[in-house]
């Protein structure tokens, strides 16, 4: 994961207009801020412009509030919306899991070692199995069982945990429940899910076994924002690993788990570093 803690991040988007890059770079120069990284993209189909800039203030008395207020006046001319992120920001998150522990374990390791700039406030699960793992990391664990009859009540409890924890991002690290339409709406743009990217070819139980039966040559995973279409939300990142006829179903499962961990961690890093812009049903992603 890249270390962006030394720089401020300015992420913005607006209609495609002449001077969109200039309004950002000129303001930063006038504010005595040195640009350390910059990405921009103009979508000629939608007429939408996206820009992400990392910068380092030259002045020791840099005033973030004054910076935002002054830039807002310039940005208004372009109908530009923007977000300023401080150096060292650790995004508060809640992780949701079921019984599979590989993605949770990977996220906890990266969190513990500082590889991911996140602050895990709680783990929520519909099973009790992974509580010892969360406890070892001193993270609150909420076992909230669910049945078709109690789904609304359980989701209300989940939402209470999210609200009380102050989480700005929810990570579905192999949470094997379908969220309701209401919950998807509440979490729009702030919940990331991971699934094997063998979909839609191998739906249902044991997808890797189905893939083995078909003799696939690649296994993979997709990390995406959730929406009301099951596993079809805006994609953030994808990963693949080659397999061959020498790999048995258990080998595909093992390789798939590794790809899921890496793909999810990468998606979370891209999100917290403000490298992802939601753009209708798609995303604009400024990778490292």
Active site residues: 231
| 214 Cβ contact partners less than 8 Å away, ≥ 6 residues apart | 201, 202
How many helices (DSSP H) and strands (DSSP E) are in the chain?
A: 8, 13
Instruction: For residue 104, give the H/E element and its range.
Output: helix 102-112
| 53, HSE (Cβ side, Cα atoms, 13 Å) | 23
Running DSSP on this structure, what letter comes out for residue 127?
Answer: S
Instruction: For residue 152, give the H/E element and its range.
Output: helix 151-165
Handedness of CA 3, 7, 16, 272 (dihedral sign): positive
Beta-strand relationship, 91-97 and 235-242: unpaired
For residue 44, how many other CB atoms are within 10 A of its CB? 7
| 251 Cβ contact partners less than 8 Å away, ≥ 6 residues apart | 243
Token pair 């010892």 is at which residue?
132
- How many angstroms separate the CA atoms of 107 and 235, rounded? 19
Running DSSP on this structure, what letter comes out for residue 243?
Answer: -
Beta-strand relationship, 282-285 and 276-279: antiparallel
């Amino acid at each position: 994961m890249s270390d962006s803690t030394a720089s401020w991040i300015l992420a913005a988007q607006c209609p495609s207009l002449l001077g969109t890059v200039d309004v950002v770079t000129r303001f930063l120069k006038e504010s005595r801020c040195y640009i350390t990284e910059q990405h921009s993209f103009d979508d000629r189909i939608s007429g939408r412009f996206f820009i992400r800039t990392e910068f380092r203030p030259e002045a020791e008395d840099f005033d973030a509030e004054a910076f935002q207020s002054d830039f807002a006046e310039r940005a208004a001319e372009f109908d530009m919306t923007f977000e300023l992120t401080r150096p060292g920001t650790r995004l508060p998150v809640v992780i949701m899991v079921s019984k599979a522990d590989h993605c949770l374990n990977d996220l906890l390791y990266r969190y513990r070692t500082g590889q991911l700039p996140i602050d895990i406030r709680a783990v929520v699960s519909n099973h009790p199995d992974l509580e010892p793992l969360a406890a070892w990391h001193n993270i609150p664990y909420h076992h909230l069982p669910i049945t078709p009859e109690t789904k609304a009540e359980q989701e209300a409890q989940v939402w209470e945990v999210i609200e009380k924890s102050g989480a700005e991002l929810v990570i579905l690290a192999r949470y094997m429940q379908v969220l309701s339409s209401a919950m998807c709406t509440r979490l729009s743009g702030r919940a990331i899910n991971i699934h094997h990217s063998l979909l839609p070819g191998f739906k249902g139980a044991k997808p890797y076994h189905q893939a083995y039966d078909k003799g696939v040559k690649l296994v993979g995973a997709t990390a995406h924002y959730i929406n009301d279409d099951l596993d079809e939300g805006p994609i953030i990142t994808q990963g693949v690993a080659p397999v061959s006829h020498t790999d048995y179903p258990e080998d595909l499962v093992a390789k798939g788990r590794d790809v899921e961990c890496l793909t999810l961690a990468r998606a979370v890093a891209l999100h917290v570093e403000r490298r992802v812009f939601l753009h209708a049903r798609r995303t604009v992603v400024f990778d490292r």
